[in-house]
C-alpha cells in the first residue's frame, strides 16, 4: 500500500537542535549590554520561531538594528558552550531517509547559522532541502516557507507533514494545506501546541520512526 506521506519538513531550533539555552543566554546578555529592561524567559521563548529581526522589532523598534547586531555577537560567543544535540534526532533522520522519505528543514534562521547547526551535529547528509530566512519574503506562521520547501522538493502539500516545536510551525503548516506535527520535546508548553490542533503529537525524536513507517 502506498503511504500517504512522502515529504517530512522539520523546524530547526527546538526541534532538531537544542539551542534554547543559547537563545536565552544571548538575549539576556544583549539586554544587559544595551541597558534594556530584562525579560522573563517564558516571554522570550514565545518569540522562538520568528526571524531574529522580527524579534528585535518586537523588543524595541527604535533599537532593532542594535539588538540584532549584539544578539548575533552573543550567540556566536556562547554557541560552542551551550548548543546541544537532542538525543535520537540523528538516528531518526537516518531511519526516515532510509525508508525513502524526502526531508527538509524549514527555519527562520539565516543560512549561515542554520548550516552551522546542521553541520555541527552531522545532520546535513539526511536532508534534501534547506529553507532559511533568506529564501522567502514572508516567514512562519505565513505559509510561504512551507510552499518554498515543497517547491524545492517537487512535492505536494497533501503528501507532506511539517514538524516543529512552536505554534508558528503548526500554523504555517495548516496555512499551506500541510499536516502539522507537534514536537513535544521543545520549549513550548503542551497546551500552547494543542491549541493549534496538530495532526500528530510526537513525544520524542525516536517516536518519528514509529509514526512514519
Q: Tell me the pTM.
A: 0.92
Q: At what angle do helices 20-34 and 64-82 cross, to 10 degrees?
A: 140
The mean-pLDDT minimum among 2-6, 28-32, 179-183, 195-199 falls in 2-6
pLDDT at 119 over 80: yes
Q: Of 24-38, 45-59, 61-75, 96-110, which gets the smallest average pLDDT? A: 45-59
Banded model confidence at residue 2, pLDDT cuts 50, 70, 90:
low
What's the angle, vertex CA 24, arms to CA 18 and CA 28, rounded to 5?
A: 160
pLDDT of 21 strictly over 90: yes
Catalytic choice (4, 11, 40, 135): 11
Query: What is the pLDDT averaged over residues 43-47?
Result: 82
Buried residues in 40-75 as b, exposed as e (16+ CB within 10 A):
eeeebbbbbbbbbbbbbbebeeeebeebbebbbebb
* Integer Cα distance of 106 and 53 in angstroms: 17
pLDDT tens across 125-147, in order? Answer: 999 999 999 999 999 999 999 99
**For residue 141, is the peptide bond before it cis, meaning its omega torsion is within 30 degrees of 0?**
yes
pLDDT classification of 1: cutoffs 50, 70, 90: very low
**Which pLDDT does position 172 carry in this prediction?**
97
Phi, psi dihedrals of residue 52, rounded to the nearest 5°: -60, -45
The per-residue DSSP string of 83-139 comes to -EEPTTHHHHHHHHHHTT-EEEEE-SS-HHHHHHHHHHTT-GGG-SEEE-GGG-SS-
DSSP label at residue 1: -
Residue 149 confidence class, pLDDT cut points 50, 70, 90: very high
Q: Does the annotation count 11 as an active-site position?
A: yes
The Cα–Cα gap between 187 and 42 comes to: 9
9, 5, 6, 4: which is closest to 149 by C-alpha?
A: 9
Q: First and final CA of the chain: distance in angstroms?
A: 12
Q: Counting Cβ atoms within 10 Å, is residue 9 exposed (0-12), middle (13-18) or buried (19+)?
A: buried
Amino acid at each position: 500500500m502506498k503511504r500517504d506521506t512522502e515529504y517530512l519538513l522539520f523546524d530547526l531550533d527546538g526541534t532538531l537542535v537544542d539551542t534554547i539555552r543559547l537563545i536565552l543566554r544571548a538575549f539576556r546578555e544583549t539586554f544587559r549590554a544595551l541597558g534594556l529592561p530584562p525579560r522573563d524567559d517564558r516571554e522570550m521563548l514565545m518569540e522562538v520561531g520568528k526571524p531574529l529581526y522580527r524579534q528585535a522589532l518586537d523588543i524595541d523598534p527604535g533599537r532593532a538594528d542594535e539588538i540584532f547586531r549584539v544578539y548575533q555577537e552573543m550567540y556566536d560567543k556562547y554557541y560552542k558552550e551551550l548548543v546541544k544535540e537532542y538525543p535520537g534526532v540523528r538516528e531518526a533522520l537516518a531511519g526516515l531517509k532510509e525508508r525513502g522519505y524526502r526531508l527538509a528543514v524549514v527555519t527562520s534562521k539565516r543560512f549561515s547559522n542554520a548550516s552551522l547547526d546542521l553541520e555541527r551535529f552531522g545532520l546535513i547528509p539526511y536532508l534534501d532541502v534547506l529553507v532559511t530566512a533568506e529564501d522567502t519574503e514572508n516567514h512562519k506562521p505565513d505559509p510561504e516557507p512551507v510552499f518554498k520547501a515543497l517547491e524545492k522538493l517537487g512535492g505536494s502539500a497533501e503528501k507532506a507533514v511539517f514538524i516543529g516545536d512552536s505554534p508558528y510551525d503548526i500554523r504555517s503548516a495548516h496555512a499551506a494545506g500541510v499536516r502539522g506535527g507537534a514536537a513535544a520535546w521543545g520549549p513550548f508548553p503542551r497546551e500552547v501546541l494543542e491549541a493549534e490542533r496538530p495532526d500528530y503529537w510526537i513525544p520524542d525524536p525516536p517516536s518519528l520512526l514509529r509514526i512514519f513507517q
